[in-house]
Amino acid sequence: MDQVLFSVVQFPNGGTAIVLQSWLRENTLLWPPKKIPIAKALQHKMEPDITWVTYNDVRQLITCQTYEEARRGEHKYTSTMCATTEIESEEEKEGREKRKTNVLFIWAMALVGL
């Protein structure tokens, strides 16, 4: 049986939600229709169909093994005191951390007086 993964997503308006990984298609989220409560959809691990609502420009912040882990992760993102535009997803953070300062270049520029 495949492992079900949970993701914390951020909507363009800054709101966040816990969803199943299978509900995401790149920057698009498929959301259960109003007649299906989100808690029920998550509990029954429902798969999207043509009746589901589409939300575009949704950012996936983190992916977790369990719903409880996703709740803790969502709390981390919603309890920060920064603007929602400053929240980094795991992918964005990894990209930023990979860039390293070229110390030799900075040292050489200091010697030349720039």
Taking only the tens place, the pLDDT of each residue in 59-82 is: 999 999 999 999 999 988 877 645
Average pLDDT over the chain, rounded to whole? 81
pLDDT of amino acid 96? 54
- Alpha carbon 55 to chain centroid distance? 14
**pTM for the full model?**
0.68
Whole-angstrom Cα distance, residue 66 to residue 3? Answer: 10
Domain boundaries, given as residue ranges, for the chain: 6-112
With CA atoms as reference, report the closest residue to 52 among 75, 28, 33, 74.
Answer: 33
pLDDT of amino acid 81? 46
- pLDDT, one tens digit per residue, over 42-57 is 999 999 999 999 999 9
- The model's confidence at residue 2, banded by pLDDT at 50, 70 and 90, is low
